[in-house]
A and B are shown apart, each in its own frame.
Chain A
């Protein structure tokens, strides 16, 4: 049995860990709130872009713009969004496993762009060809952060290097639930009709529908990317918060168990000493 001092030392160590995990839990909770706010704040814009695209779709055919064109062949590009930092529970493992399934299922050429250090490390280990890596979007990703990535993939698609672009990320459903998702980014699959009620052909387009479309599509791609990055951000913090909460609770349990055995050892020692004294005091 461990000595009294050893157990006391372990209790101290577990208590320190508990303090750290509890602090991380609260930090994650407050970051989550902010991440959730920015996800919500970005929604009106992306809804509007969707709506205008649907308006345009009513007057233009799918052949009007190369970003809409389905093509045979070409490398398939996966954009894998993970976190830069660890200790986020099962989030990265799940996202990477989800991506890996997608990669093994695909038979043709495939390359990956990673956002976040964890995804890059995993892809390197698995020797999946990496096209590019982006990191350090920070706690509050801004729209301009995703623009270089958006440029890279639209240019690559227009040059014919990529035949199809998908984005793998983690959807933020609720604090407890994050769902891994894959969305097709290019060629753009748009909703045929505007749900808002006015048929698209009633709109006047200025200067003309084709010009509006040309300017809209790259922004649409950037917006979709930005949304995925924000969703992943919120998922990261909620997953971390839950993981840290569990860790704190486990530490508490461990402290209780250790305290119990500490008391047992202490009691045993006292009893032993008592017996020693009692036997020592007996007249010989």
Chain B
């Protein structure tokens, strides 16, 4: 029995389909959801969300948010959600370098270090997710 999964962000509905199972980055470690999971609301961290559907796998890089599991569907509310296949590796690398520069030069000019740290975290995540997908794509 498949489950209905929806991934929503403030800007769009990023994903909506029937899937077999989903693994989300919970705030306290990865969390797998299979059909007939108990109703649950959980906070999410920064990480990779993996969807399994009929033997194929898809993944999203997601940042922050919540998971709601209901008997009829699973909803992920994330601040951002990028499909691994759509991540632009070069732009992510660029964002990483940018954030690292800010963090190194930081203190004296009163730059927003917290924002830079968040940006770095997000860039690293995107790179990780995109590279993993690329490796697996080659193997398969």
Instruction: List chain A positions with a Cβ less than 8 A from chain B.
Output: 38, 41-42, 44-46, 48-49, 51-52, 55-56, 142-143, 196, 198, 202-207, 211-212, 215-216, 219, 222-223, 226
Report whether B68 and A51 are in contact in the complex, using a CB–CB cutoff of 8 Å: yes
B12 CB to closest chain A CB (Å) equals 4
Q: 27 A-B pairs, CB-CB below 8 angstroms?
A: A42-B10, A42-B12, A45-B9, A45-B13, A45-B77, A51-B68, A52-B66, A52-B68, A55-B68, A143-B79, A196-B70, A202-B39, A204-B38, A204-B41, A205-B40, A205-B42, A206-B43, A207-B27, A207-B28, A207-B42, A207-B43, A211-B43, A212-B41, A215-B43, A215-B66, A223-B10, A226-B10
Report whether A142 and B11 are in contact in the complex, using a CB–CB cutoff of 8 Å: yes
Within 8 Å by CB of B41, from A42, A44, A206, A222, lies A206
Q: Give the secondary structure class of A's interface.
A: helix
B44 CB to closest chain A CB (Å) equals 9
Report whether A52 and B77 are in contact in the complex, using a CB–CB cutoff of 8 Å: yes
Q: Is the C-beta of B25 less than 8 angstroms from some C-beta in chain A?
A: no
Report whether B28 and A206 are in contact in the complex, using a CB–CB cutoff of 8 Å: yes
Report whether B41 and A203 are in contact in the complex, using a CB–CB cutoff of 8 Å: yes
B39 CB to closest chain A CB (Å) equals 5
Residue among B6, B42, B71 with max Cβ neighbours from chain A (10 Å): B42
Contact of A41 with B26 at beta-carbon distance under 8 Å, contacts A203-B41, A206-B43 already known: no
